[in-house]
Chain A
Amino acid sequence: MLSFLARRLGLLIPTFLGVTLLTFALIRLIPGDPVEVMMGERRLDPQMHAEAMQRLGLDRPLHEQYLSYLGQLAQGDLGQSLRTRESVWSEFASLFPATVELAFAALLLAGVLGLLAGTLAALKRGSLLDHGTMGLALTGYSMPIFWWALILIMFFSVELGWTPVSGRLDLLYDVEPVTGFMLIDTLLSEEQGAFLDALRHLILPAIVLGTIPLAVIARMTRSAMLEVLREDYIRAARARGLSPARLVFVHALRNALVPVLTVFGLQIGSLLSGAVLTETLFSWPGIGKWLIEAIGARDYPVVQNGILLIAALVILVSFVVDILYGLANPRIRHRQ
């Protein structure tokens, strides 16, 4: 386990270097620079442009810029936004809970419904229920997120008026940010009905963001379950007179969980990329929306370091999933 940890940690440095190089290069490949974007439609005086660029240090050769960026990172300095003059870290930290809340809700939805649907489909293999769920899962998986989001907004928000169109909370409510998680903060606050309002804001984005993971988890659970249900130990457990519920939930699902967990972990990474789109569509004030705006403004420090933070997060999550994997599967835990 220790050598495994060491190997994983050793991979971190090249991974991070790669991320910095990629984001540094890519954001500069987009036509336009921060000063041009800030000036907008107004005619830009070349003299002023050059001065502004010099002030921001963007006139230096690229390799110098990159090296000084790395130097900054080495000191733990994530720099500050060109637009707001706020430190990138504090902006990230204040927006991050919103994204976590959304991602967590989406994963919860995907995990619970996916496991349930996959298990039922496997148990009723070949039935209408099986074909129905798997057909739906395939549809969900193939659905373009932005289109799906718009359809849901049109139907539930515009036609039925059940859910709000955007944001995290109605302006009516004044909730003090304690944890940054709206569901918790509204519960802590005295505001009547704020919690339900936050929930109504959360539900559609969570569904949109959870759709693809839900489909993937449902399909994976089904195939893993089908495999496990054929195993000798399931037949042996039946021969011991165990109840169907115990067979399925204690013995089969536990073993089917091992491959599902891997998929689940992989989904967390793609969830963050999905969050960028979902947050933009629902004006959800999280890091996805923040990054999109930063790219639009060519806010180099925010884009570079925001993506670096997300990369760190994905790496952390996959690390945690690896550990969970060991917990779910004793054969891995005990391998020397």
Chain B
Amino acid sequence: MSLLEIDNLSVRYGPADAPPVVDGLDLRLEAGEVLAIVGESGSGKSQAMLALLGLIDPPGRVAADRLQFAGHDLLALGERQRRRLLGKELAMVFQDPLAALDPSYRVGFQLEEVLRQHLGLRGREARRRALELLEQVEIPAAASRLDAYPHQLSGGMAQRVAIALAIAAEPLLLIADEPTTALDVTIQAQILELLLNLQRERGMALLLISHDLAVVAECASRVCVMYAGQAVEVGALPGLFDAPAHPYTEALLAALPEAGTARRPLRGLPGSVPGRHDRPVGCLLAPRCAYVQDDCRARRPPLEAKRQSQARCYHPRNQESP
């Protein structure tokens, strides 16, 4: 059994006929694995993860056939049981680290709060563990940072603190929602390296949400490409990036600037993501796809095994053996 099993997860807002922001997502994640979810803004990456944590508030609605994590059925979990799971076995790091720390409390207080909540540590013991955590996320002068307020930290430092908060109770799965997007380029690599080191040392699974394909190619062993709320292609790396089956994945890769090919103009995908009123009945990419055929417009393609991956496409690319 996988660590995380998601079947047909959907998240909706607004009226019943409104298109879901997450539309029938299936996902498997093994213990200790690094999986990346990529997709443009609004493709449903973060919403899917928030749904997983049970953090979608009304008017948002979550439905799924199956949401299984480490033997827990997340759909059937009561509030109290869910809280015992969150931050302990299932933790999340958010995009903007300075916004994700409570501005009114010192770093030490916030760390000790989690340690008390999930591990029952108090007083000096909690303090000592909090210091260790800051050292583990490689914060210089960790002892003095315990007494710092979030606004006294730089973005990179704050993200390290946020990571320390997330790993405090040794989770089995850490979800990192664009953990480097809000940071300086020079800091981004350090934070990613830290996350990967922690993942390796602790053997925890890491679910990395990103829209940086270069980062994904470097870090993840598998990738899930999302478009307009659906997983359009899922597969192992580097195979999937070498031979993307879905035209959307192919287009994403083509839009990457490459060193050494400076003369080549960047290729974009014409059109825009379908909105509420123009969501196609067939393949969601059909209106923008260069290889679209009649059957694409008629029916939504299911996620099916292709040469290197699973993809939602009737006319996949790169299928011939090299």
Interface residues, chain A, with chain B CB atoms under 8 Å away = 231-233, 235-243, 246, 250-251, 254-255, 328-331, 334
Contact = CB atoms under 8 A, between A and B. Distances in A.
Given A232-B99, A329-B104, A330-B104, A240 B165 contact: yes
A24 B130 CA distance: 63
A240 B104 contact: no
A92 B103 CA distance: 43
B32 to A, nearest CB: 21
Contacts of A233: 99-103
B102 A237 contact: yes
Nearest to A251: B102
Given A331-B151, A334-B151, A240 B114 contact: yes
B149 A334 contact: yes
Given A235-B55, A236-B101, A330-B104, A241 B151 contact: no
Nearest to A229: B57
Interface stretch (B80-88, B291-299, B301-309): B80-88
Contacts of B135: none
A255 B113 contact: no
Interface in B59-99: 82-88, 91-92, 94, 96, 99
Contacts of B88: 241
Contacts of B101: 233, 236
Contacts of B100: 232-233, 235-236
B149 A241 contact: no
B162 to A, nearest CB: 7
B83 A254 contact: no
B152 interface: yes
B53 interface: yes
A328 B103 CA distance: 10
Nearest to B89: A241
Given A330-B104, A330-B149, A334-B149, A241 B96 contact: no
Contacts of B87: 239-242
A330 B103 contact: yes
B99 A242 contact: no
B53 to A, nearest CB: 6
A235, A239, A334 interface centre (most CB from chain B within 10 Å):
A239
Contacts of B83: 241-243
30 contacts: A232-B94, A232-B99, A232-B100, A235-B50, A235-B55, A235-B100, A236-B92, A238-B55, A239-B86, A240-B86, A240-B87, A240-B113, A240-B114, A241-B83, A241-B84, A241-B85, A241-B86, A241-B88, A242-B87, A243-B83, A243-B117, A246-B113, A254-B102, A254-B104, A255-B103, A255-B104, A329-B103, A330-B103, A331-B149, A334-B152
Nearest to B85: A241
The B contact surface, by secondary structure, is helix
A231 B104 contact: no
A239 B87 CA distance: 6
B169 to A, nearest CB: 9
A262 B179 CA distance: 35
Contacts of A240: 86-87, 91, 113-114, 117, 165-166
Contacts of A243: 83, 117
A233 B166 CA distance: 13
B154 to A, nearest CB: 15
Nearest to B82: A241
B211 interface: no
A330 B101 CA distance: 13
A241 B77 CA distance: 13
B210 to A, nearest CB: 18
Nearest to A237: B102
Given A239-B92, A241-B84, A255-B103, A330 B55 contact: no
A231 B103 CA distance: 11
A328 B105 CA distance: 10
Given A235-B100, A241-B83, A331-B149, 15 more contacts: A231-B99, A233-B99, A235-B50, A236-B101, A239-B91, A239-B94, A240-B117, A241-B82, A241-B86, A243-B83, A243-B117, A250-B113, A251-B105, A255-B103, A329-B104
A241 B162 contact: no
A236 B91 contact: no
Nearest to B149: A330
A235 B55 CA distance: 8
Nearest to B53: A239
A236 B87 CA distance: 10
B315 interface: no
Contacts of A328: 104
Contacts of A241: 82-88, 117-118
A329 B55 CA distance: 27
Nearest to A235: B55
A236 B162 contact: yes
A243 B151 CA distance: 25
Interface string B157-195: 000001001100000000000000000000000000000
A204 B138 CA distance: 60
A250 to B, nearest CB: 8
A254 B85 CA distance: 26
Contacts of A239: 53, 55, 86-87, 91-92, 94
B215 to A, nearest CB: 22
Nearest to B113: A242
B117 A236 contact: no
Contacts of A331: 103, 149, 151
